[in-house]
Chains A and B, each alone.
Chain A
């Protein structure tokens, strides 16, 4: 891993056209400004796993799994939820 020390206002360049600037440093956080070509995707690390889950989630409806296997199960859950359900507004 390359480790570079930078101060607020300084920047690094990656692959010639991606610039990462240190905008602000506080006691617990660093604010970064990233300038990159449109085709470069910039993602927080914690979003990568969630992106995979979301693709799987979209397949739940698209594959028909919901209708064939799961609606009966949800009906069972709804019966249980109905006894202690929060109001619709509590979503």
Chain B
């Protein structure tokens, strides 16, 4: 049998320029993200100068890109809550909540708000580190609320 080596995928994006990635770095979102249900494949991109920002770039539409932050840079005592359906979709094996950093990565999307940005900590993007499956968790019981980046460079809980 002949083995075929597949090189990295390449895409020209309007925001991050030309990016290339290996298949194993690609995230699989079985249901996309709310409002972007057809974006099933994304890659997380870190730019050293902009750390700790993480860009979530769609590999299907070059124009779709989100800016995110690791949730614990905003709220260090954040506790992840997942529903049974979310655990199933991420294919998490263990019962109980997964450990951030060991089992899952947890990012929050930033959206513009009056000259600064806000983040909804009740809708974290969760990535299973063991299989790269990803979803936006929407646990109805969670109540961390919204955090806004102040002019002083600190995060303030706004509701």
A interface with B by C-beta (< 8 Å): 41, 43-44, 46-48, 50-63, 65-66, 69-71, 73-74, 76-81, 84-91
The CA-CA distance from A55 to B64 in the complex, in Å, is: 10
Q: Provide 25 A-B residue pairs closer than 8 Å at the C-beta atoms, listed in order of the A residue.
A: A41-B37, A46-B140, A47-B34, A50-B136, A50-B138, A53-B123, A54-B35, A56-B111, A57-B66, A57-B110, A60-B67, A61-B65, A74-B53, A76-B152, A77-B149, A77-B155, A79-B153, A85-B52, A86-B73, A89-B101, A90-B101, A91-B71, A91-B72, A91-B101, A91-B107
In the assembled complex, the CB of A89 is this many whole angstroms from the nearest CB of chain B, namely: 5
In the assembled complex, the CB of B32 is this many whole angstroms from the nearest CB of chain A, namely: 10
**Residues of A with C-beta under 8 A to B71:** 91
Are B153 and A77 closer than 8 Å at their CB atoms? yes
- B154 within 8 Å of A (CB atoms): yes
The 10 A-B pairs of least Cβ separation, nearest first, read A51-B35, A91-B70, A76-B153, A51-B34, A57-B111, A90-B101, A47-B34, A54-B35, A56-B111, A91-B105
**Residues of A with C-beta under 8 A to B120:** 50, 53
Most-contacted residue by chain B among A65, A79, A91 (CB, 10 A): A91
Chain B: residues with Cβ within 8 Å of the partner, total of 47
The CA-CA distance from A76 to B151 in the complex, in Å, is: 9
- B27 within 8 Å of A (CB atoms): no
Are B138 and A71 closer than 8 Å at their CB atoms? no
Are B54 and A59 closer than 8 Å at their CB atoms? no
Most-contacted residue by chain B among A41, A48, A51 (CB, 10 A): A51
- B28 within 8 Å of A (CB atoms): no
**Residues of A with C-beta under 8 A to B33:** 54
Most-contacted residue by chain A among B52, B65, B138 (CB, 10 A): B52
B interface with A by C-beta (< 8 Å): 14-15, 33-37, 50-55, 63-67, 70-73, 76, 100-102, 105-107, 109-112, 115-117, 120, 123, 136, 138, 140, 149, 151-155
The CA-CA distance from A84 to B123 in the complex, in Å, is: 23
In the assembled complex, the CB of B142 is this many whole angstroms from the nearest CB of chain A, namely: 10
User: Which residue in A44, A61, A69, A88 is a CB contact (below 8 Å) of B67?
Assistant: A61
